[in-house]
């Protein structure tokens, strides 16, 4: 996603005095936000949301910015809450393909949801220039394909790290796309590439690793 977690943490930390004991920490939204991140990276989904749900109640003006919470809601099967989080985030981050995609994923799995319904509610994005976001957006819209996503990700061969990053993103979203379609084997194959073969340790790279840990080699839910 375009808006990075450290920026949110920087905003939250000054809201209270740095905690000196456990009681103070539990009242500190900056501490809770950071602990929620640590829980998520360890695939402790319920624990991450226990902290982040408290954060958005304590600092409601920052709730629309908390897309990280939306991703965790998806893995907790709280799809309607996820839809609401990503719709809220759209108001403060209007040109982010990833927000549109995560909203799509939650709509698919929400009550009475489907790929058709998700495409009917798909958020249009026109100015996300990151590679390969244009092709990823078209893929979920039903106007693109996996081959176009991979071709865009593989186009820049001049910088090995940048190429690896593009491939990580491509396979992450291909894995999520095939999960939405119920094609678990294909999903697992792509997610392994994002989480292992083209591993990156930024936030969305960590999302791929968490997904791979939760779903396993078969691409199906192991736990919430």
User: In whole numbers, what is the pLDDT of the chain averaged over residues?
Assistant: 91
pTM here is 0.90
Residues 119 and 136 in one domain: no
Residues 34 and 78 in one domain: yes
| CATH code of residue 88 | 1.25.40.10
Residues 146 and 60 in one domain: no
Given a cut of 60, whether residue 223 has pLDDT beyond it is: no
Pick from 18-22, 26-30, 181-185: least confident: 18-22
Residues 88 and 73 in one domain: yes
Q: Which residue has the tokens 């894995």?
A: 175
Residues 161 and 109 in one domain: no
Render pLDDT for 70-84 as a digit per residue (tens, 0 to 9).
999 999 999 999 999
Render pLDDT for 109-150 as a digit per residue (tens, 0 to 9).
999 999 999 999 999 999 999 999 999 999 999 999 999 999
Structure confidence at residue 6 (pLDDT) = 43
Res. 1 pLDDT band, cuts 50 70 90: confident
Pick from 7-21, 89-103, 187-201: least confident: 7-21
Q: Which residue has the tokens 């408290």?
A: 54
The boundaries of the domain holding residue 185 are 129-224
Structure confidence at residue 102 (pLDDT) = 98
Residues 117 and 155 in one domain: no
| Beta-carbon-side half-sphere exposure of residue 168 (alpha carbons within 13 Å) | 22
Cis status, amide bond into 132, omega within 30 of 0 = yes
Q: By C-alpha distance, which of 15, 43, 82, 42 is closest to 32? A: 15
Structure confidence at residue 15 (pLDDT) = 42
Given a cut of 90, whether residue 12 has pLDDT beyond it is: no
**Degrees, nearest 5: CA angle 160-197-82:** 105
Domain end residue (candidates: 124, 158, 193): 124
Residues 20 and 108 in one domain: yes
Residues 162 and 212 in one domain: yes
Q: How many domains does the chain have?
A: 2
Residues 113 and 7 in one domain: yes
Residues 48 and 100 in one domain: yes
Structure confidence at residue 116 (pLDDT) = 98
Residues 98 and 177 in one domain: no
Res. 185 pLDDT band, cuts 50 70 90: very high
Res. 20 pLDDT band, cuts 50 70 90: low
Residues 77 and 165 in one domain: no
Domain end residue (candidates: 74, 108, 124): 124
Distance CA 131, CA 170 (A): 9
Domain end residue (candidates: 69, 103, 124): 124
CA 91 to chain centre: 17
């Amino acid at each position: 996603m375009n808006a990075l977690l450290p920026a949110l943490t920087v905003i939250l930390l000054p809201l209270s005095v740095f905690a000196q004991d456990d009681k103070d920490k539990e009242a500190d939204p900056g501490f809770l936000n950071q602990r929620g991140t640590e829980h998520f990276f360890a695939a402790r989904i319920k624990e991450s949301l226990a902290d982040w749900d408290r954060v958005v109640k304590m600092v409601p003006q920052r709730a629309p910015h908390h897309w990280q919470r939306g991703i965790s809601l998806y893995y907790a099967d709280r799809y309607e809450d996820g839809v609401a989080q990503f719709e809220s985030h759209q108001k403060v981050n209007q040109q982010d393909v990833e927000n549109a995609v995560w909203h799509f994923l939650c709509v698919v799995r929400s009550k009475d949801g489907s790929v058709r319904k998700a495409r009917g509610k798909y958020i249009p994005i026109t100015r996300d220039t990151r590679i390969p976001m244009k092709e990823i957006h078209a893929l979920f819209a039903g106007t693109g394909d996996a081959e176009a996503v991979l071709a865009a990700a593989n186009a820049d061969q001049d910088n090995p790290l940048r190429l690896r990053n593009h491939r990580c993103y491509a396979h992450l979203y291909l894995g999520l796309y095939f999960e939405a379609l119920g094609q678990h084997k294909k999903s697992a194959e792509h997610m392994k590439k994002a989480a292992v073969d083209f591993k990156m340790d930024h936030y969305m790279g960590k999302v791929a690793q968490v997904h791979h840990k939760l779903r396993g080699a078969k691409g199906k839910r192991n736990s919430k």
